[in-house]
Amino acid sequence: MNILVIAIFGILGAVATFYAHHRFNFSTVRASAMLSLAVALFFYGFPELLNAFLTKNIPVVFFGTSFIGMVSAKLKVGYVRLSIAGLIFSLIYLNKSHFFEGFGGALGALAFISLLSTMGFHDLLLRHPKIKNRLGLIRQKRSNP
């Protein structure tokens, strides 16, 4: 259950920051800071709402995934890829050992790894001819039931 809640907040952090930046024309830093502050203050004000593990880690995961949401719109990332990157961030965050301990910018590094792997995998799928043809066939079958 903890993993699911962390994953949901990871996805929300990336998508909400991207949405706030583009919908309300906030700067990326302002969108990230406002949303992260709201989440942190909520869990600081209501620490008994969820268990101690979630109360401690949700604001950190949300803040880290908000870095993913700071991606430029020029890259045409989209909400699905942002969600996948937020999910990857959450899973790496939960399974990290002491590797990132004492490493400055660990959340930013995890956000970079998550977003880069998501974008790279997407480009790999689109550039491989066999996979591209299969995806085209699946799309045709969906549109013509």
Q: What are the domain boundaries of the chain?
A: 2-143
Per-residue pLDDT band at 2 (split at 50, 70, 90): very high
Residue whose C-alpha is closest to residue 120's, from 74, 75, 56, 60: 75
Share of the chain above pLDDT 90, in %: 54
Q: What is the pLDDT of residue 50?
A: 93
Mean pLDDT of the chain: 88
109 has pLDDT over 80: yes
- Asked if 35 and 13 count as a contact pair (C-beta separation under 8 A), the reply is yes
